[in-house]
A and B are shown apart, each in its own frame.
Chain A
Amino acid sequence: MKTIMTVDDSASVRQMVAFTLKNAGYSVIEASDGKDALSKIGAKVDMVITDLNMPNMDGISLIKALRAMPACKFIPIIMLTTESQAGRKQEGKDAGATGWIVKPFKPEQLLSVVQKVLR
């Protein structure tokens, strides 16, 4: 079973993401911000879905930190952007994000993106 980590400071988004992914047969690890994510990344995570705006450590820094780890160098990392501003998205892509989902999104959209990058 593939393991996906969802990183978001909004508990409701986390819950929705986790619920959707678990129903689709993925195992899910939840983290509330970049720091929390790095402390939980541990064993085997096949994919990360992260928000960008978070306290302690934001999404961009998290992506950079993950890409610096050998185990996470090539895994898909999807960022959640509310901002439709191209700037943040580009920043995320430069940091090494695989793709993005623009909030608000529906569970089906989430799943289709996951299936696009994780096989």
Chain B
Amino acid sequence: MEDIHRQAFRDEAADLLAELETALLELEDAPQDSGLVNRIFRAMHTLKGSGAMFGFDDIAQFTHEIETVFDKVRDGLLPVTKPLLDLTFQAKDHVRLLFENDGGDISGYLASGTAILEGFRALAGGGGDHAEAPGAQAGAVPAQEADRERMFRIRFKPRPGIYSTGNNPEYFLEDIKSLGPARVFAHFEDVPPLRELDPQSCHIWWDILLATSSTESAVRDVFMFVEDECDLSVTPMEATCDDKVPMLGEILVERGDISADQIERAVAGQRRLGSILAESGVVAAKSVEAALAEQSIARDRQDSRKSAPEAASSLRVSADKLDRLQDLVGELVIVQAQIKQAAALLGNEAVVNLAEELERLSDDIRDSTLSIRMLPIGSTFSTYRRLVRDLCASLGKEIDLVTTGEDTELDKTVLDRLADALIHLLRNSIDHGIELPAEREAAGKPRKGTIRLQAEHSGGDVVIEVIDDGKGIDPARVRAKALERGLITEHTELSPQKTLELIFLPGFSTAEAVSNVSGRGVGMDVVKGVVESLRGSIALSSELGRGSRVTVRLPLTLAIIEGLQVRVGDQGYVLPLELVEECVELDKQDLEVCTRKRIVNLRGQVVPYISLREWFSFPGPVPSIEQVVILGMNGQRVGLVVDNVVGEHQTVIKSLGPVFRKLDGFSGATIQGDGSMSLILDVKRIVDMALEQAGRESER
């Protein structure tokens, strides 16, 4: 148990003891006051209950007996007398001594404690149930035969009113399934006709067959909360599952659904037993179906015993092999695209069909291969918990780290490279974001700060956010610091948001002093660099006094994207399909009106556009018809004007060589179906650059 809880309980116990003393003193003056007796009972009760919970077993044991006595006083079975009060005062002092000497040697007090308890027992007339000590929970289930698999037949028939106790039968079924392979049959026979149906009642009941290595009591424990409010039978099926597959009739008889006589008579008809039984109405069709399934489970089990031992459920494979596999899949996807294109050219229907089949298969192979590399981000979250704990201790801060979305999956490569960046973001929040407990209280916030680390899927991206409820980032201080560092000049005018983003510039740090926590020379610029190298983006928002939020968006995987292939002149380009909203034809008339403004009218909405032909300074005449690809980015729409749109295309990303790596606006290259190369556009970057350029132009 963590020490903070023990300490909290110790503080509370001091209050309780003081309360106890007050109540006792008042009770001395007004022995008939049942309210006071109640207060004393409650104080003892809490000392006992919470004491046992936080590891003060001796105190719990001691107060349990006194509580028992006061329970009797409360019920009027014992009078309030002077000896009782004296003893209770002594008991209270004894408890205080126990607290003060917690962890130390208490052997000296044991005798006096026993004497006090003897006194109470004498008062209670020896009738106390002191044999039952608190904390003595139901005995552990004997572990015998725990790991041998066996079968249970479970019949679960909840009372109609089960929902109004907040229990959900569905959860019980889920829990049963978690114990092992199970077959569940719902019985709908008791569901009344619609006009008599009470939707708040449960009319369905279930037969379940479960193969599990758990014990019968573990199976029963699933129904622990409703055991008294339902018809429940759990029957182990020992003999039947090992030797021979039971006959349907035997099962039904064993279940008590039918008698042996009835079967004999039915069998005389010489048809399939199940249909005979159901038709003749001696047993419900559902019961037959359930019994048949039981038979088939038993058969399956027998079959599986005959086959070789089960294969291991997971394998360890070196990451190198996976990388190699991924490369191969990449090549396969390229070849597949080539085949598809060649098939389309040939126009032979059989070949086209084969090419489509191949496409479907290679899509599946690609998805499975990529999913092998996916890891839940939660695997790294646990290390952060430790980090937060240690940093809090060294900085004297109190912080809860709340994580959500642990099962969000990310490519292992992304995860590995992201780990340090996330640690840095957390450090920033702990060091610069969350205030000291005293400061927080002064600001009217809870002493304990909260940092949320959350991950979720959003479209084709994974969004990871670090949110703290600390003091936020002061744009004025950011500006002052940026001025000091010479990152901006006096005359630079920036919106508050743009000011915040100065933090991402190299060589920026807002910490007053370089602390050993975040001042390690790794700045937000490095974090930004890491995120961008993963084809992701990072954004920062902050509210002064309320906290700040860093949002990191990352693509699901680095290797393959769905792309939209476009052409400008004789050059092909690929745009990430996830950003594409629609493609429209560029209306020349619109164009002429607003040539200089570079705006298209999209169903009444004004959308700015960038002409790739202009952007890449393509020579030659502008074709008569151009297309606009409308992209959605951060809630805004931007158009890219291209010569024509070729189509959707699996795009295997190949990184550019070292010479071209510094080129802005490209995130890589890919090989097309016809063997030619296309550049993959980093449209977010291009839009940013276009905005900067437009900004400079308008300044002039």
Q: Which A residues are closer than 8 A to B by beta carbons? A: 1, 9-13, 15-16, 19, 22-23, 25, 53-55, 67, 73-77, 80, 82, 84, 93, 96-100, 102-105, 116-117, 119
Contact = CB atoms under 8 A, between A and B. Distances in A.
A76 B162 CA distance: 11
Interface stretch (B111-119, B163-171, B355-363, B622-630): B163-171
B171 A119 contact: yes
Given A22-B400, A22-B402, A13 B167 contact: no
Contacts of B167: 76, 98-99, 117
A104 B135 contact: yes
A16 B5 contact: yes
B53 A117 contact: no
B164 A103 contact: no
A74 B224 CA distance: 18
Contacts of B504: none
A84 B132 contact: yes
Given A53-B42, A102-B137, A116-B175, A12 B52 contact: no
Nearest to B172: A116
B674 to A, nearest CB: 51
A95 to B, nearest CB: 9
B224 A99 contact: yes
A75 B8 CA distance: 30
B8 A12 contact: yes
Interface in B624-643: none
Nearest to A80: B49
A83 to B, nearest CB: 9
A9 B45 CA distance: 11
A19 B450 CA distance: 12
B166 A96 contact: yes
B507 to A, nearest CB: 38
A13 B49 contact: yes
A76 B134 CA distance: 26
B12 A11 contact: yes
Contacts of B5: 12, 15-16, 19
Nearest to A89: B228
A74 B201 CA distance: 11
Interface of B: prevailing SS:
helix
Given A74-B163, A117-B167, A25 B50 contact: no
Contacts of B89: none
A73 to B, nearest CB: 7
A11 B46 CA distance: 10
Contacts of B164: 67, 73-74, 96
B171 A13 contact: no
Instruction: Count chain A CB atoms within 10 A of each CB in B8, B48, B132 and give the residue with the most.
Output: B8
A110 B51 CA distance: 17
A12 B403 CA distance: 24
Given A25-B403, A104-B60, A117-B225, A13 B50 contact: yes
Interface in B156-214: 163-168, 171, 174-175
B9 interface: yes
B171 A98 contact: no
Q: A-B pairs with the 7 shortest C-beta distances?
A: A98-B166, A104-B52, A99-B225, A12-B9, A104-B53, A82-B49, A76-B166
Interface string B57-99: 0001000000000000000000000000000000000000000
Given A9-B42, A104-B135, A117 B50 contact: no
Contacts of A96: 164-166
Nearest to A81: B49
A98 B52 contact: no
Nearest to B225: A99
B585 to A, nearest CB: 46
B508 interface: no
A100 B42 CA distance: 19
Nearest to A84: B132
A9 B168 CA distance: 29
A119 B8 CA distance: 31
Contacts of B53: 13, 16, 103-105
A6 B45 CA distance: 18
Contacts of A1: 404
Interface in B120-136: 132, 134-135
Interface string B4-42: 110011011000000000000000000000000001011
Contacts of A75: 166
Nearest to A119: B171
Nearest to A1: B404
A104 B63 CA distance: 14
Nearest to A90: B228
A55 B43 CA distance: 11
B165 A98 contact: yes
A9 to B, nearest CB: 7
Contacts of A74: 163-164, 166
Nearest to A113: B225
Contacts of B54: 12, 16, 104
Contacts of A11: 8, 11-12
Contacts of B402: 22-23, 25
29 contacts: A10-B49, A10-B50, A11-B11, A12-B8, A12-B11, A12-B54, A15-B4, A16-B8, A19-B4, A19-B5, A22-B402, A23-B402, A53-B41, A53-B46, A54-B42, A74-B163, A76-B167, A80-B49, A82-B134, A97-B165, A100-B225, A103-B50, A103-B53, A104-B53, A104-B134, A105-B53, A117-B166, A117-B168, A117-B171
A82 B567 CA distance: 75
B165 A10 contact: no
Contacts of B50: 10, 12-13, 103-104
A25 B454 CA distance: 10
A10 B166 contact: no
B12 A10 contact: yes
A62 B184 CA distance: 36
Nearest to B401: A23
Contacts of A80: 49
B400 A9 contact: no
Contacts of B400: 22-23
A16 B5 CA distance: 6
B166 A77 contact: yes
Instruction: Count chain A CB atoms within 10 A of each CB in B4, B166, B175, B403 and give the residue with the most.
Output: B166
A103 B52 contact: yes
A9 B134 CA distance: 20
B45 A53 contact: yes
A119 B168 CA distance: 10
Nearest to B175: A116
A9 B403 CA distance: 29
Nearest to B39: A55
A54 B46 CA distance: 10
B513 to A, nearest CB: 32
Given A12-B5, A13-B49, A53-B41, 6 more contacts: A11-B11, A12-B8, A22-B402, A54-B42, A104-B49, A116-B175
B6 to A, nearest CB: 8
